[in-house]
């Protein structure tokens, strides 16, 4: 038996598809900015949240930061600590967001980038 969607469900699905399409349009540069911010905060602080990352990034559009964070989690670069803090983003109305930390892989990548930066300055 085929389930028929209500008008509200169809509209919500269309809106979700449009948001996903917008997220996938972002450039490699946007992903690079998020990655750099995450590696920076992960190196400087034992834990961090998207509140801190969002404060230093330009507006990336709805949903992009979360998608980029999820990608870094899937790649094994960051992991949840199990802690949550209230979001400071207005549209989220203070809902809880995860606190993150770099994994061993993330710390290794951050250290390699820091070393490369330092060697570039010495040259």
In a structure prediction context, what are the per-residue pLDDT tens digits for the chain, which is 123 residues long?
677 756 656 555 655 554 445 544 556 777 778 888 889 889 999 999 989 988 887 776 666 778 888 889 999 999 999 999 999 987 777 899 999 999 999 999 999 988 888 887 654
CB atoms within 10 A of CB 96: 12
CATH architecture of residue range(s) 8-122: Orthogonal Bundle (1.10)
What pTM was estimated for this model as a whole?
0.68
Domain boundaries, the chain: 8-122
* 93 touches 86 (CB < 8 A): no
């Amino acid at each position: 038996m085929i389930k028929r969607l209500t008008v509200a469900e169809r509209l919500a699905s269309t809106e979700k598809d449009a948001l996903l399409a917008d997220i996938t349009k972002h450039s490699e540069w946007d992903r690079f900015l998020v990655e750099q911010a995450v590696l920076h905060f992960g190196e400087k602080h034992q834990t961090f949240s998207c509140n801190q990352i969002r404060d230093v990034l330009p507006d990336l559009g709805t949903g992009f930061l979360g998608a980029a964070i999820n990608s870094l989690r899937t790649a094994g670069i960051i992991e949840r600590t199990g802690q949550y803090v209230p979001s400071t983003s207005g549209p989220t109305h203070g809902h809880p967001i995860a606190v993150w930390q770099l994994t061993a892989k993330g710390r290794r990548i951050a250290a390699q980038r820091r070393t490369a930066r330092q060697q570039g300055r010495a040259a």
